[in-house]
Amino acid sequence: MNEAHLHLLLNHLPILGSLFGLIALAVGIFRADTGVVRTGLVTLLAAAVLCLPVQLTGEGAEEVLHGLPDVSKTLINAHEEAAELAFWVLELTGALAMLALLLPQRAQLMNRLTLAGAVSSFALLAWAGSLGGQIRHPEARAGFVSSAEYKP
């Protein structure tokens, strides 16, 4: 297994984890259910930790793809820049989640700050994932026309 394969296996975990954590945290805050809030916070913290190996395998994945036909360096760079921003926003969200868990006296403020970070994290991670998918999946690119639809 090479780093590209590992990157592809792991990259869904922070995206889906941040979505689950966001939903759980929002529901917990809305219902004033500390157990659900805690689940959301722990999930967001776990998503931040799981994002580390995804980030660390990105360069290796790029090396594996380097020189392959039909691989756009422009798409790789766009994905890399989006992923870098998403990574740091998720790490900040994970830090906020940890503080929310450790500082129950500031729970309401920390929970709301973490929720804002979770919304931003998920949006950025989803965008980075979409750009990453476009690297080897032309059908995910804007303006794609299948051979059955193509009319010269």
Listed residue (46, 53, 49, 52) closest to 20, CA to CA: 46
- Hey, what amino acid is at 61? A
Q: For 57-79, how does the pLDDT look when each residue is reduced to its tens digit (9 = 90+)? A: 998 888 888 877 888 888 889 99
pLDDT on residue 71: 81
Please determine, for residue 143, whether its predicted confidence score (pLDDT) is greater than 70: no
Q: How far is the C-alpha of 29 from the C-alpha of 108, rounded, in Å?
A: 8
Please spell the DSSP secondary structure of 13-38, one letter per residue. HHHHHHHHHHHHHHHHHHHT-HHHHH
Instruction: State mean pLDDT over 6-17.
Output: 93
Q: How far is the C-alpha of 53 from the C-alpha of 108, rounded, in Å?
A: 31
Q: How far is the C-alpha of 128 from the C-alpha of 132, rounded, in Å?
A: 6
- Tally of CB atoms within 10 A around 60: 15
Q: How far is the C-alpha of 51 from the C-alpha of 33, rounded, in Å?
A: 27
pTM, two decimal places? 0.88
